[in-house]
């Protein structure tokens, strides 16, 4: 289950511009290359304990900025709010900051109203193709692009833009303008070659300060931020400490060579200097589909996944933590029709090894709907293979969790859990399938490992060590049958998701 408190801590930087006239942008600090890449950089002294002989030379960012700035554009997105309509609402955390202004609270629209927001983007071809974030233009009826004049004292040029393609899953959008001639544009680099500590530079339009340059380093790679992604296609954020300001998102993250390695997208509200960018290699993979089809079609199995932790591997009798654990299988979708079951561990796709959940999602996402894939599976220690024909993922973002307080039946406390019988009334209140059998969690001790593992009031436990339990008595019997096992594996279900949870008996 996604942690909703984490979602509040991470936010896309996109703001309602009726108040400020700009989009809150997810600024990302850009970093520069390693010392080996910097001309004139002093090599490290190999002697133990030796002090640096000289300060390492930094690249000249002014030259890079002069090349990059002309290709960075301002974007104004206009939304028309008609009488009786609400402004577009983006899935949390794709929310506008400062939505609840005095005007919003006390002004009831009596007719169509105009709401402008803005952000940045950058040219990727001389004929006017522009890459930006989807959240900048989502729901807009008119998009205007502003380009630098090319002279310090010259007026900006404005163009109406059309949306060529969108991909909410990676928060990317491709726009097109029709210029009079060729325009300056940026070359796309290779984000896979980035190293933590490399210098990078971000360019964007924060607040009212157009074409602002910030510099930083690559703070981390491969950041998985499910709170920010509509699906798991985007599982490889670049983290940077480049200065983050409203309107700075959607612009390019470039190397000291001026090549784009990311699209600035998000910041962490919980701390300063923590920004995130979509790796440009992700954009490279989808650009052709955006141009030809206007959207991205991705393969879809119809399963919920979880990692194979060391405790789960021990509890399930697995020899390693490699693979992706199937937490739930959706009836009628490819995995179910192929014979995949919850509790299976997927270890290969078409012969390619699957080491983690992210790898499986990456492999399936890069296949087209209709393709057939061979799934290598471990089921209770036995190697199996199934063939599934992929469906189209479409827009299957995470659903919001719903919770209804259960009416406790007979309950007992164990493992820090107060459990009750799963009655028809509770099934109805929790919006559970009528056929679901198990025990309902009435209360969780906040000092227990069960709490640390994410079990919450209203969850339903249907299995203990892969043995079904239909009552509190059966739950206790299954625990007793565990004997001297150090770990118990629970299968935990709610109305939106299902997962395996491990509890260490030696800590309870």
149 annotated active-site? no
Helix, strand or coil, per DSSP, at residue 370: coil
Looking at the chain, the domain(s) classified CATH 2.40.10.120 span 1-37+64-296
CB neighbour list of residue 135: distance below 8 Å, 6 or more residues apart: 12, 14, 90, 94, 171
Range(s) of the chain covered by CATH 2.30.42.10: 299-392, 411-507
Strand 14-15, strand 96-97: pairing: parallel
Please say whether the beta carbons of 202 and 28 come within 8 A. Answer: yes
Which tokens belong to 410? Answer: 């007979």
Q: Which fold is adopted by the domain 1-37+64-296? A: Thrombin, subunit H (2.40.10)
Helical (H) or strand (E) element with 312: helix 310-316
pLDDT grade for 350, boundaries at 50, 70 and 90: very high
Catalytic one among 135, 191, 344, 494?
A: 135
pLDDT at 12: 46
pLDDT of residue 314 exceeding 80: yes
DSSP-derived letter for residue 481 is H
Residue 215 CB: number of other CB atoms within 10 A? Answer: 22
Residue 168: the pLDDT is 87
Tell me which of 116, 167, 171, 241 is the catalytic residue: 171
Domain 299-392, CATH among 1.10.3720.10, 1.20.1260.10, 2.30.42.10, 2.60.40.2470: 2.30.42.10
Tens digits of per-residue pLDDT, 407-423?
A: 333 334 578 888 888 88
What pLDDT is stored for residue 174 in this prediction? Answer: 96
**Residue count (the chain):** 508
Residue 238 burial (10 A CB sphere; 0-12, 13-18, 19+):
buried
Residue 366 annotated to the active site: no
Architecture of domain 411-507: Roll (2.30)
The confidence score (pLDDT) of residue 463 equals 92
d(CA 401, CA 1): 8
Name the pTM for this structure. 0.65
Q: What are the beta bridge partners of residue 188?
A: 260
Looking at the chain, the whole-number percentage of residues with pLDDT higher than 70 is: 72
Let me know if 171 is a catalytic residue.
yes
Position 11 pLDDT exceeds 80: no
Contact 161, 167 (CB under 8 A): no
Distance of alpha carbon 65 from alpha carbon 215, whole angstroms: 10
CB-based burial of residue 442 (10 Å sphere; 0-12 exposed, 13-18 middle, 19+ buried)? buried
Binned at pLDDT 50, 70 and 90, residue 7 comes out as: very low
Per the CB < 8 A criterion, the answer to whether 133 and 249 are in contact is: yes
> Encoding tokens for residue 243?
């200065």
Residue-level pLDDT at 106: 42
Q: DSSP alpha helices (H): ranges in 206-299?
A: 280-293
Rounded to a whole number of angstroms, the CA Rg of the chain reads 26
Name the 3-class secondary structure at 432: coil
- Encoding tokens for residue 370? 């209709």
Q: What is the pLDDT of residue 347?
A: 95
Residue 21 and residue 251: Cα distance in Å, rounded?
17
- Which among 191, 249, 268, 365 is annotated as catalytic? 249
Average pLDDT over residues 24-52: 39
Q: Of all helices (H) and strands (E), which one includes residue 476?
A: helix 472-481
């Amino acid at each position: 289950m996604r942690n909703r408190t984490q979602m509040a801590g991470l936010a896309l930087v996109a703001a309602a511009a009726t108040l400020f006239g700009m989009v809150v942008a997810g600024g990302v600090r850009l970093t520069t290359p390693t010392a080996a890449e910097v001309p004139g950089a002093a090599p490290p002294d190999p002697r133990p304990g030796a002090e640096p002989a000289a300060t390492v030379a930094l690249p000249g960012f002014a030259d890079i900025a002069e090349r990059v700035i002309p290709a960075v554009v301002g974007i104004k997105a206009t939304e028309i709010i008609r009488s009786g309509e609400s402004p577009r609402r983006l899935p949390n955390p794709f929310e506008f900051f400062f939505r609840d202004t005095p005007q919003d609270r006390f002004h009831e629209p009596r007719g169509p109203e105009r709401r402008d927001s803005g952000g940045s983007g950058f040219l990727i071809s001389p004929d006017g193709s522009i890459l930006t974030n989807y959240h900048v233009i989502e729901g807009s009826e008119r998009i205007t692009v502003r380009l630098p004049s090319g002279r310090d004292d010259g007026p900006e040029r404005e163009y109406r833009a059309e949306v060529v393609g969108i991909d909410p899953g990676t928060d990317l959008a491709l726009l097109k303008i029709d210029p009079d001639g060729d325009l300056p544009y940026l070359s796309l680099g290779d984000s896979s070659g980035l190293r933590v500590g490399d210098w990078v530079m971000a360019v964007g339009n924060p607040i009212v300060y157009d074409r602002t340059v910030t510099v930083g380093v690559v703070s981390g790679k491969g950041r998985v931020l499910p709170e920010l992604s509509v699906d798991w296609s985007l599982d490889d954020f670049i983290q940077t400490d480049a200065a983050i300001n409203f309107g700075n998102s959607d612009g390019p993250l470039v190397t000291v060579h001026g090549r784009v390695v990311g699209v600035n997208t998000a910041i962490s509200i919980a701390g300063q200097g923590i920004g995130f960018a979509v790796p440009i290699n992700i954009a490279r993979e989808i650009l052709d589909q955006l141009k030809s089809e206007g959207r991205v079609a991705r393969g879809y199995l119809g399963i919920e996944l979880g990692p194979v932790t060391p405790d789960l591997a021990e509890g399930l009798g697995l020899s390693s933590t490699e693979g992706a654990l199937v937490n739930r299988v959706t009836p009628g979708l490819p995995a179910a029709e192929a014979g995949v079951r919850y509790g299976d561990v997927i270890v290969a796709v078409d012969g390619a090894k699957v080491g983690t959940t992210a790898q499986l999602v990456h492999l399936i996402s890069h296949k087209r709907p209709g393709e057939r894939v061979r799934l290598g599976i471990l089921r209770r220690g036995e190697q199996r293979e199934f063939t599934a024909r992929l469906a189209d993922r479409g827009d299957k973002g995470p659903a919001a969790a719903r919770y209804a307080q259960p009416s406790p039946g007979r309950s007992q406390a164990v493992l820090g859990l107060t459990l009750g019988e799963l009655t028809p009334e509770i099934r109805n209140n929790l919006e559970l399938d009528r056929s679901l059998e198990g025990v309902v969690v009435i209360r969780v001790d906040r000092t227990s490992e069960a709490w640390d593992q994410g079990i919450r009031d209203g969850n339903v436990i249907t299995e203990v060590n892969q043995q079904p339990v239909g009552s509190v008595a059966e739950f206790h019997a299954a625990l007793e049958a565990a004997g001297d096992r150090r770990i118990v594996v629970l299968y935990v279900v709610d109305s939106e998701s299902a997962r395996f949870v491990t509890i260490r008996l030696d800590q309870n």
